[in-house]
Amino acid sequence: MVESTRIVLASRPVGAPTPANFRIETVELPPPAEGEVVLRTLYLSLDPYMRGRMSAAESYASPVEIDEVMVAGTVAEVLESRDPSLAEGDVVLAYSGWQSHQVVPAGAVRKLDPDKAPISTALGVLGMPGFTAYSGLLKIGQPKAGETLVVAAASGPVGSAVGQIARIKGARAIGIAGGPDKVAYVRDDLGFDAAIDHRAPDFADQLRAAVPDGIDIYFENVGGAVADAVYPLLNTYARVPVCGLIANYNAADVPEGPDRLPAFYSRILTKSVTVRGFIQSEFVKEMYKDFLRDMSGWIADGSVRYREDIVEGLENAPEAFIGLLEGRNFGKLVVRVG
């Protein structure tokens, strides 16, 4: 009999999540049926979209129910297999959530090759965040040589890939990050053309100075004050792929004024801007193969770099997730469970 330690949603947060919204518990798992495998989680991914799943509000995916396990992409080891496609010891990409073990159908996981890349990258640069960057930038952003791109959370898994891919396509990449360490990393290690600290009092002026030809692509993954500074600088026919709005996720009430919508809408009108929300799953069928080929190549030749922020222990996942929403992580946030 296998026991699983797991973290469930104890209550829905109002505003920012707190440790009290989570509960850790241990359950016994049923034995695997024919066609199923028993997984032991090695790494679990923490991503901003999980804040949406903690709320009951309508979104692109169903909420996590109270007392249910928090959702997450995971990298896991097969402990026992009752399916011929997988063997004990195989390492797989799964969606098994914030828990140490799970029994799932073999068809719900994808086998990884540990020799090709570090297995944790299947949750980051070679996984959902990397594909979000790749698909949204190439399909919606459509960078052209000489254009200017701006992306926030530029030291994170999505933003860092967006800027580096834009540069591969010949565009200038301006990254926005929080604090001097992240700014230095984005500029010096990732090779962005410029990096700006959104906490600087003259942030909007610094951004304006960094984009003398305006902004052709704003890859939107934060919203809030960064978007306020970006929109007035958008060029005619600018593209704004919207993959996340982390600045808004913890908002409990309709925010106070002033009403920023008319100015945004007006910029969209007068500059013929395209704003397009997307979820990476829309493009999986069309682009995932190309993504794995391109991104593996770029990592191998050094044109895309990545950084992981690894937290030890499942029990530390709630605190790490709360910090993620405040920008306390530095790189792709992953919990080492095994």
Binding to its own copies (CB under 8 A): which residues in 202-241? 223, 227, 236
The one-letter code for the residue type at 188 is D
How near is the Cβ of 57 to its own copies at its closest, in Å? 9
Taking contact as CB under 8 A, which single stretch among the options 169-177, 197-205, 245-253, 321-329 is the one that binds its own copies? 245-253
Beta bridge partners of 184: none
- Contacting residue, 12, 116, 208, 276, with its own copies by CB under 8 A: 276
- Contacting residue, 13, 244, 318, 331, with its own copies by CB under 8 A: 244
How near is the Cβ of 275 to its own copies at its closest, in Å? 4
The one-letter code for the residue type at 46 is L
Strands 74-81 and 110-111: unpaired
Dihedral through CA 149, CA 155, CA 158, CA 159, nearest 10? -10
Beta bridge partners of 105: 36
Cβ proximity to its own copies, 60 vs 67, nearer residue: 60
- Contacting residue, 273, 320, 325, 334, with its own copies by CB under 8 A: 273
Distance of CA 267 to CAs 124, 231, 236, 274, Å? 34, 7, 9, 10
Please state, in angstroms and rounded to a whole number, the distance separating the CA atoms of residues 160 and 172: 13
Q: How many CA atoms lie within 13 A of 98 on its CB side?
A: 26
H/E segment holding residue 284: helix 284-300
Beta bridge partners of 316: none
- Contacting residue, 274, 287, 288, 296, with its own copies by CB under 8 A: 274
Site string for its own copies, 36-65 (x = CB under 8 A): ----------------x-----xxx-----
Cβ proximity to its own copies, 276 vs 336, nearer residue: 276
Q: Is residue 15 within the footprint of its own copies (CB under 8 A)?
A: no
Site string for its own copies, 247-266 (x = CB under 8 A): -x--x--xxxxxxxxxxxxx
Please state, in angstroms and rounded to a whole number, the distance separating the CA atoms of residues 181 and 247: 21
Cβ proximity to its own copies, 1 vs 261, nearer residue: 261
**Residues 6+ positions from 25 with CB-CB distance below 8 Å:** 5, 6, 8
Cβ proximity to its own copies, 131 vs 298, nearer residue: 131
- Contacting residue, 29, 117, 225, 245, with its own copies by CB under 8 A: 245
Task: Count residues binding its own copies (CB under 8 A).
Answer: 40
Cβ proximity to its own copies, 73 vs 244, nearer residue: 244
Taking contact as CB under 8 A, which single stretch among the options 96-104, 196-204, 277-285, 288-296 is the one that binds its own copies? 277-285
Please state, in angstroms and rounded to a whole number, the distance separating the CA atoms of residues 264 and 272: 12
Cβ atoms of 92 and 108 within 8 Å: the answer is no
- φ, ψ of residue 87 in degrees (nearest 5): -125, 160
- Contacting residue, 118, 179, 214, 277, with its own copies by CB under 8 A: 277
How near is the Cβ of 154 to its own copies at its closest, in Å? 19
Q: How many CA atoms lie within 13 A of 78 on its CB side?
A: 26
Beta bridge partners of 214: none
Site string for its own copies, 176-205 (x = CB under 8 A): ------------------------------
Residues of this chain that interact with its own copies (CB under 8 A) are 52, 58-60, 223, 227, 236, 242-245, 248, 251, 254-279, 282
